[in-house]
Amino acid sequence: MPSLSANPAFLVLADGTLFEGNSFGSRGLALGEVVFNTGMTGYQEVLTDPSYFGQLVTFTYPEIGNTGVNSEDQEALHPSVKGVIVREFAQSPSNWRCMQSFESWLEKEKVVGISGLDTRALVRHIRNFGSMNGVISTDGKSSPAQLLEKVRNSPTMEGLNLADEVTTEATYLWNSTCDVEFDKRIKPHQGSPYRVVAIDFGIKRSILDRLVSHGCEVTVVPSNSDISSVLQLSPEGVFFSNGPGDPSAVTGGIALAKQLIEEANDLPLFGICLGHQILGLALGGQTYKLAYGHRGLNHPCGTTGQLEITSQNHGFALDPKSLPEERVEVTHFNLNDKTVAGIAFRNRPIFGIQYHPEASPGPHDADHHFSRFVSLMQERR
């Protein structure tokens, strides 16, 4: 049974559905899109992933916080989510890496949480009716009717450029803490590193670490960077990162990708998640919003005869019919619903994948895509 609390809380969805539970974490009000993640592990990585900016994340795993929180599993300095929804949270974590409890961390980071509600019923509701805005209230100051009015007056995810909200303000060189000697997937790189410019639409630290482990020197630039500021860094490859919001609203990133494709003389380009969608949009393709998105660690992707179990976190997808067949090939599909999971340009060193090969959290099946990117740069040396 969920832990009892003297602090009641409400979750109100945009269609008027009301859930009652208990307050935990920070107290207050959190408004955002309600989504769910099906992973059984990695809650700290999920909550600090900038791709979740502006969302209320529901965990389907019944108890969250068992291993507490530590400083090594952060994907960014602070959580990006607006709120957390769980069935039950562990009040007494147990792990040798634990530095503080899950709840104390949420309190410190001012993240509002609600526990004790029926997360199975909530997930079924989202699956039936789609992701929608909602509000968590733990301060007791607003009635459900007032909360519903707030939700219905809030903007939906479609049309929102949230990448500009989470991007870096200044260019920086990533100094990775990972050690390739302890990474059995990678042989230590010999020779000078590959110069990579990463466009930050909400980049995860683990992606930067994987690039470094594969022999890259990564310079991270803001999402509004133009082609001249990118090329003056003399990149051997350009990486388009993951990020939150509606990809079609990231007009600056789309324009940059289009210019690089047309003017950068076969410069290798690699996109993950939002970056993958931006590459498709730069070709004139279109994206659409999924009913409830893909957020979890066990999504099968691939083509006939080749399969990868993948980690995913996205609410939009490329429309395969909108992609020009003479210029781009769909290389991977999500085998659950046949949505586009990977593209590659014909006769150009450019590709994107919809899923997360950095495996933080998640399986390692897709790590070879980093090697693929490096191989494209190596061919140009």
Identify any residues that bridge with 167 across adjacent strands, giving them in sequence order: none
273 is catalytic: yes
Closest CA to 241 of 278, 296, 286: 278
Q: CA torsion angle for 312, 162, 133, 333 (degrees, to 10)?
A: -30
Identify any residues that bridge with 69 across adjacent strands, giving them in sequence order: 100
Burial 326-335 (b: 16+ CB within 10 A, else e): ebbebbbbbe
Instruction: Give the torsion sign (CA, 241, 243, 246, 250).
Output: negative
Contact 255, 279 (CB under 8 A): no
Contact 231, 345 (CB under 8 A): no
d(CA 210, CA 207): 5
How many CB atoms are located within 10 Å of the residue 347 CB?
Answer: 8
98 is catalytic: no
Identify any residues that bridge with 184 across adjacent strands, giving them in sequence order: none
Identify any residues that bridge with 132 across adjacent strands, giving them in sequence order: 34
Catalytic residue from among 125, 276, 314, 356: 356
Widest CA span in the chain: 65
CA distances from 193 to 9, 169, 277, 367 (A): 52, 25, 27, 19
d(CA 275, CA 286): 14
356 is catalytic: yes
Catalytic residue from among 273, 299, 308, 369: 273
* Element holding 58 (H helix, E strand): strand 55-59
Catalytic residue from among 75, 125, 358, 369: 358
Q: CA torsion angle for 75, 78, 83, 88 (degrees, to 10)?
A: 70
d(CA 283, CA 80): 30
d(CA 93, CA 28): 24
Annotated catalytic sites, by residue?
273, 356, 358
